[in-house]
Structure 1
Amino acid sequence: MSFKTETCAQCGNLFSYDDSLFGRKPEWGGGMLGGYLCSNCANQRKQEQQLKAFREDDRKRQEMDNIIRENEEDDRYQREQREQRRNQELQRQAEYESANPGEYECPNCLYITLKRNASRCPKCHGTVSSSYWYTINKREAEAQEQARLEADEWERARPQREAAERALKKTKAKRKATIIICSIIGPFLIAGIIAVFSGYSFSRGIEKLVEIITMIIFLPIAIGFLFLIYKIWAFFAGD
């Protein structure tokens, strides 16, 4: 064992420590001048660091508690405001229904207090003439008649609407079928045209005659194939 003496960088006292390979080095004091710390100062600084960390954790915990408390208070305030607005709305509705318990407006006090064909207002006790109810009944009858006419007009226009919808669906189906058929026969048609023109350009003598005879023989087959394509198109198009 090899002991070495150092001066504590904090308290200035001398202390010894084991400077051998397996010895325990003292804690480095840090700071501007550096230096090692004695065991007492090292323990004291460790306790101060732990206390500082504890205070920092406590501060963060208090901040979090304050945030949670503020959020809870804000939520409670919002609920109270909504409840207050709801109560005010219910109160206004109750006051309105209390002041307007009827079905029709009184021509005297202008409150909705009258039942149908009533002769006197229960609120202002004013007299309601028969001409007032005649006007009301006439207006309601005209409104009902107008609603009936609109419903009849809508019902009469139903076949035209359905026909227009069917025509639109048919047009869409034809367009879709045309795209499908063209995408199928288009490449074959182009390839056939290229093959025919290539045959006419490079054929000679008997080969050309054979090609012409072959085209004549297979012409009905081609026409039948095109007719089949047309029937498929008509099937998809809904004709």
Structure 2
Amino acid sequence: MPRSLIAFTLGASLLALGCSHADAAKRPAPPASPPSPATPDEIDRVRGCWIQKVEPDGRATLLLRLLPDREHPQWLSGQLQRADGDDPDRRVQLWFARDGRTALLASRPIADPTPAPASKPAPMRQLPHTKAIKPNADAMASLIANPQARIEYERVSEAAPPAPGASADTHTLDYRERGASKRLRIEVSPEHLKLSIVGASLSHKPGTPNSAAVVLFDGGRDGCD
């Protein structure tokens, strides 16, 4: 083959390769995959009736029924209810979207749990005193108190492992507060449910770690569907 033809062929090949690289550089990168939401099967693990007791066979302190809401069947809804009686308007409300993407805490009943697309999280108020953290619904209401009386959470794909000593069939789901780093953590097995707020300094006591957690509920299944 003549040298001129070889040179022409090689130059054309290099030119075509350079154009293909330039075109690839101009093409936008594919969008990042969103965090994988919990599946309905996963979030439905919390469905049912639960009871918290002082001891496994001791006095009941909190009751929680998480069932499909009548007005919003695409959500599981429930209330943290004191076993010895309380004011229904002061109970902590819990909502979990059954597609696994969002969750909601509210310090009073709400009509619609659907988060507004452009909503901004309300500023959290620090608890005034450490002694306000008590294992009952009144203390938890003060924990989440804010001007809008609701805190919205978004599901995150990475979740911490179950606590040491948890049963082998425990599943952990984490939700992050919109616009903040605090998390709502679910640890659930067929017979046990634990709900915690994690990642916030919840008192003014010196030396309190930023990773302090407040347990909203820690109890066993109580047999409804």
TM bucket (normalised to shorter chain) is: under 0.3
Higher relative contact order (CA 8 A, sep 6+): 2
TM-score by length of 1: 0.25
Give the number of the structure whose residues are more often helix, by fraction.
1
TM-score by length of 2: 0.26
